[in-house]
Amino acid sequence: MSDEKIVEKPFSPGLAGVVGAETAVGYVDGAAGRLLYRGYPIEEVVTKGNYANVLDLLLTGEWHPNAHLAPEKVPPAVLAALRLLPAHAHPMDALRTAISVWGAGERLGWPPTADEAKRIAAFAPSALAAFARLRQGLEPVDPQPGLGIAAAFLQQLHDKEPDPATARALDAYLMVGAEHGLNASTFTARVIIATRSDIASAICGAVGAMKGPLHGGAPAEVIGQLGEIGSIDRAEDWARGKLSRKELIMGFGHRVYRAYDPRAAALRKVAEAMPTRPAWLELAIGAEEQILKVFEEMKPGRAMKTNVEFYAAAVLQGVGLVPDLFPATFALARIAGWSAHAIEQAGVDKLIRPDAKYIGHAERHLPA
């Protein structure tokens, strides 16, 4: 036997603190509350652009103000598959199925391309809207020519063209949700593409990761809270009661950000610019102010600032989405970031294969 000592490699539960990739796609500065897309602050991107600009920026690395993404009809094979799903199916399952069926019918190669990513981003909102209608017993609606991705998604959901302010609010949500570093679903996409699999497989895997309630489900919980609050004058007592009972208040605090979430700030700014403030926005703003005041008083020194889920919930409800569509709409936004990371990982062309620390039995033998 060798006298050489076995050097144990450090173990980090959840890979916390482990650098798993080098990326030029996005930068999350939690301490300062900054989010950069290819170097551009999220506030500037949301103010000056739309989702088509963001998708193109993340995929190409450059800002093209005239970038365009035309919404596409649901491919026949995808629509046929969606018709077979039960009405109780989760919208995330429907979205994953749609992308999987699309990928099965395409001759997708490796490495993944920006064109493939744009094709997924163009039809996926139509597929989600089609499922949302089918489960209500309604027929899907084709996208109206000339509309952007956000406006066409709402038009196909409700069979009515949305007003510009409503479409702009959803477009802002899609932009702030497009990219956020090496989160669980983005890491999943990179792991899959690193095996030299195709981009549809990577996006399907990422959707599966985002379906988990620890990743993509928080905005829906915020809606329940706003419903409990009901009116601004009840917000302070509601927050005091929650904290006194040591219950979580969703939409505040973040694993990364220690300052006000820049995505929440960008969403609030767009919502406040709406020609008339809808009731949902008035409640969200008023409740936020009261909840932050209570946090400062009852949790001094804690970095409990507003995160993106708070205003995401208000915006998604305000544009007419039901809560179980929130995670899938988040996934529509994140297709941009997932795809950009997949293409970047393919450029590295290195299999992602970490070690595992064995904690089982020592060597033993079966009885004679």
State whether CATH 1.10.3720.10 applies to domain 70-214+325-348. Answer: no
Q: What is the structure's pLDDT at 344?
A: 98
Cβ proximity of 61 and 24 under 8 Å: yes
Catalytic residue among 179, 288, 309, 344: 309
pLDDT in tens, 190-242: 999 999 999 999 999 999 999 988 787 667 788 888 899 999 999 999 999 99
Which superfamily does CATH assign the domain made up of 218-318 to?
A: Cytochrome P450-Terp, domain 2 (1.10.230.10)
Strand partners, 247: none
Q: For residue 3, is pLDDT > 70?
A: no
* Contact between 315 and 226 (Cβ < 8 Å): no
Percent of the chain with pLDDT over 90: 70
Q: Concatenated DSSP letters for 46-91?
A: HHH--HHHHHHHHHHSS--TT------PPPHHHHHHHHHS-TTS-H
Composition of the chain by helix, strand, coil, percent to 5: 55, 5, 40
Per-residue burial over 183-220, b if 16 or more Cβ lie within 10 Å, else e, is bebbbbbbbbbbeebbbbbbbbbbbebbbeeeebbbbb
Residue identified by tokens 């009661």 is 241
What is residue 179's predicted lDDT score, i.e. its pLDDT? 96
- pLDDT for residue 218: 67
The larger pLDDT score, comparing residue 113 to residue 257, is at 113
- Whether residue 1 has pLDDT greater than 60: no
Residue 183 has which token pair? Answer: 């989160």
Three-state SS string over 319-358 comes to CCCCHHHHHHHHHHHHHHHHHHHHHHHHHHCCCCCCCCCC
Which pair of tokens denotes residue 298?
């009852």
Active site residue 254: yes
Hey, how many other C-beta atoms are within 10 angstroms of the C-beta on 352?
Answer: 15
Contact between 318 and 222 (Cβ < 8 Å): no
pLDDT interval class at 89 (50, 70, 90): very high
Task: Delimit the CATH 1.10.230.10 region(s) of the chain.
Answer: 218-318
Percent of the chain past pLDDT 70, that is, above it, reads 98
Catalytic residue among 179, 254, 288, 341: 254
Where are any strands of DSSP class E within the chain?
A: 26-29, 34-37, 40-41
Which part of the chain has CATH 1.10.580.10? 70-214+325-348
**Model-level pTM greater than 0.85?**
yes
| Contact between residue 127 and residue 28 where contact means Cβ atoms under 8 Å apart | no
Q: Give the gyration radius of the chain's Cα atoms.
A: 22
